[in-house]
Structures are given as structure tokens and as C-alpha cells.
Amino acid sequence: MERISRGLEDVDIKWTRLTTIDGERGILRYAGYSVEDLISGGASAEEIQYLFLYGELPREGELRDFVSKVERGYRVPAHVTSAISNLPRSSDAVALQMGAFASLAASERFKWDKTTDRDVAASVIGNMLTITADVYRHVNGLPLVEPDPRGGYARTFLRAALGREPTDDESRAMNAALILYMDHEVPASTTAGLVVVSTLSDIYSGVTGALAALKGPLHGGAAEAAIAQFAEIGSEDAVERWFQENIVTGKRRLMGFGHRVYRTYDPRARIFKEFAERLAPRNPDALRYYRVALRLEELGIAHFGSKGIYPNTDFWSGIVYMSMGFPLKNNIYTALFALSRITGWLAHFIEYVEEQHRLIRPRAVYTGPGERKFVPISQRS
């Protein structure tokens, strides 16, 4: 009976040269580079986007050429912008991103082709910047801002979303967030997108499928759900009682804790925590939630640590985003997660379809009734 690996736990579905995770030791490497090294070494998001698509860090000229392809994607067709603005302001931000990509799937004639896939991927990374900035402006009832490409991807995004010049600290934090969330092997969202592209459906539909999976609170949705828990607790001195009533009782899950692969502290969470400590004092809510999170982390590790349940990347990221000026609403933190993860999705889609393509079609173990004859309803008592 137990032929089934529930949730595909420990099932390998593809080969990859993109990302490796050591869940026991808490190690995350992109094509051999540890995330700690990339962040401390001052890598730009664009360099790592290039690394994912081409397997090596770019030289100056290669980066310039790649960035111009990404920047061409900043201009999205008018129907994509209206696909966003025609939906209610109360919409979930990730659902709005899905709507935008579904409309791209409707209009763009895409065919898998080794000579063009990476150019299309570069422009999709550009599309995602504009789409995510437009989604943010729409849910906040603000006029759209044309992306101004000065200063690189992170700064361009913040300028278009927040409608002001970002500080150096904010751009550095956004750049780090883009790198930290960029890929993570084959989590639910990447797997969902791989199923879509394995049918040779188009790259835009693959992104739409990946977004649909990311949206859930057990996955990318935790980026919002974790800080929503900090907000619900409200202050440091309320943490202990909330923890006893909600988590120790097993009534609710501690969002931002636990992981299918990591059995120790998520290396990305450590880096996000450092940015949270540095940036939170600039925003009173972020600072209050930062103090709640510190106490919650202490209780969470004391309670769950022996089970290998520790903070994951989503525990601290929301505080960093809030410190930059993104309020807690409409699942925007998960949309920011998707802005980063689109590169990983595209890289896995290309790696799979170009090098190891096979339609993904698993089986199910039948446990229903044996063969039987149809009885017309008039004879069914």
C-alpha cells in the first residue's frame, strides 16, 4: 500500500545544476555559490539572474547585454496592465500576478526553442518587475509609475512600486531579498510550473501555475502569514500567552517555522534576520513586530527545535519588506517573493524542457470497488 510518497516527500523529479540544499546542515548554494557568499560579496540580483539562466557568473559585457534584454521586458502590453486594473483593489496580489501572466499567455505566441528561450526568460524577468510594481500600485489605489531603469533591478523595482527614490539601505535589502528568494530547488510552486511546461504548454502558463501554488499559506503565502501572526500578537509581552494558547495546544501552526527539507535554521532566514535588525528601527510597526518575532523565535525553537522545526525564510522577510515601506495587505509579501522566484522557475523550466523533457504523469494506487454492472436509476432502490 505504501508505494505512495505523500506530498512527493524525498521523490526526485529532475536533475539540476541550479541549486542544492543541505537540509541537515542548513546550506543553500546556487550553482556552487553559497547564498551567504553571494550576499556578503555584494552580488547584484542581475548577476544571479544571469547565473541561473547561463550557469556561470557574467563578465561585464555579458551582464550589460543581459540587462538590456531584461529592461526590454519592462514594457508590458496594455492588456496586461488592464488585466490588473480591471480586478478589484481588494484582490490578492499573487492572484493579480496570475491574471497578468494569464493575459500574457493569451497574447504572446511562445514556442519552446533553445535559441530563444533565454531571451524570452530575460524579458519575462523584466515583465515581472513591471507587473509586480503595477499590482502594488493598484491594490493601494496609486497611479502607475513607468519603470526608470537607473540603478539596477532592485532600485528600479522600488522606485516603480513605492513611487519615490529608494535609499541605499532599502536597495541593498531588496537586492538581497531578490537573491535569497531566487530559487530553492523544486518546491511546490516550481513543481507545479514544471508539470505545466512538461506538456509543452507555454512559459507564461508555467509561471501562472507556479504562482497559483506559491499563493498558499503553507508555501509562499507564509511570507505574509508569519508577519500577520506578529501583528495579531501585537506586543512582546503578549507573545508567551499567545504561544501557549495557539501553538502549544496544537490549535494553529507557527507560520514561518518548519520546512520540508531544512531540519535546522534556514540559512536565508539568518540573513533576512540581520536585515530586519538593521532596517526595522525605521518603521514603528516593523520594530514592534521585530521585537515580537525575537520572542516568538525563542519560544518556537525551544518548543520545536528537537523536532527539527526552525525558522524558515518567511519568518523574517516580512519585517524587511515592511521596513522598506510595503504595508501588510493583499498578500503583497508573497508577490514580492514571486518577483524573486520567477528566475528560479524559468531556469528550472528551461533546464527541464531543453535537457530532460518528459511529460509529467504520475499514477495513483486504486483502492475503490471492484468491477460491477450499471443499474438504471429506475431499478435502484
Distance CA 155, CA 177 (A): 12
Question: Which residues, 6 or more positions from 91, have their beta carbon under 8 angstroms from its beta carbon?
Answer: 139, 330
- As measured in angstroms, the least distance from the Cβ of 98 to ligand SDX is 17
State which residue, 260 or 282, has the beta carbon closest to ligand SDX: 260
Report which of 4, 346, 321 is spatially closest to residue 202, judged by C-alpha positions: 346
- As measured in angstroms, the least distance from the Cβ of 221 to ligand SDX is 8
End-to-end CA distance of the chain: 34
| Interior angle at CA 351, CA 347 and CA 353, nearest 5 | 115
State which residue, 74 or 333, has the beta carbon closest to ligand SDX: 333
219 catalytically annotated: yes
CB 305, CB 263: distance < 8 Å: no
259 catalytically annotated: yes
- As measured in angstroms, the least distance from the Cβ of 60 to ligand SDX is 30
State which of residues 14, 118, 184, 215 lies at the interface with ligand SDX (CB under 6 A): 184
Distance CA 320, CA 175 (A): 12
Choose the catalytic residue: 259, 266, 348, 357: 259
State which of residues 258, 288, 289, 338 lies at the interface with ligand SDX (CB under 6 A): 258
Q: Is 257 in the site for ligand SDX (CB under 6 A)?
A: yes
Distance CA 68, CA 46 (A): 11
65 catalytically annotated: no
Report which of 33, 34, 70, 36 is spatially closest to residue 50, judged by C-alpha positions: 70
Choose the catalytic residue: 202, 219, 266, 348: 219
Q: Is 312 in the site for ligand SDX (CB under 6 A)?
A: yes
State which of residues 5, 7, 88, 359 lies at the interface with ligand SDX (CB under 6 A): 7
Is 318 in a helix, a strand, or coil? helix
Contact window for ligand SDX (CB under 6 A) among 249-257, 317-325, 328-336, 359-367 = 249-257
Cell digits of residue 209: 501555475
DSSP string, 227-261: HHHHHHH-SGGGHHHHHIIIIITSSS--TTB--SS
State which residue, 166 or 300, has the beta carbon closest to ligand SDX: 300
- As measured in angstroms, the least distance from the Cβ of 286 to ligand SDX is 19
Q: Is 215 in the site for ligand SDX (CB under 6 A)?
A: no
Contact window for ligand SDX (CB under 6 A) among 149-157, 310-318, 327-335, 361-369 = 310-318
Helices (H) and strands (E) in the chain, counts: 16, 3
CB 267, CB 35: distance < 8 Å: yes
Q: Note the residues at the interface with ligand SDX (CB under 6 A).
A: 7, 184, 187, 218-220, 222, 253-261, 309, 312-314
Residues annotated as part of the active site: 219, 259, 314
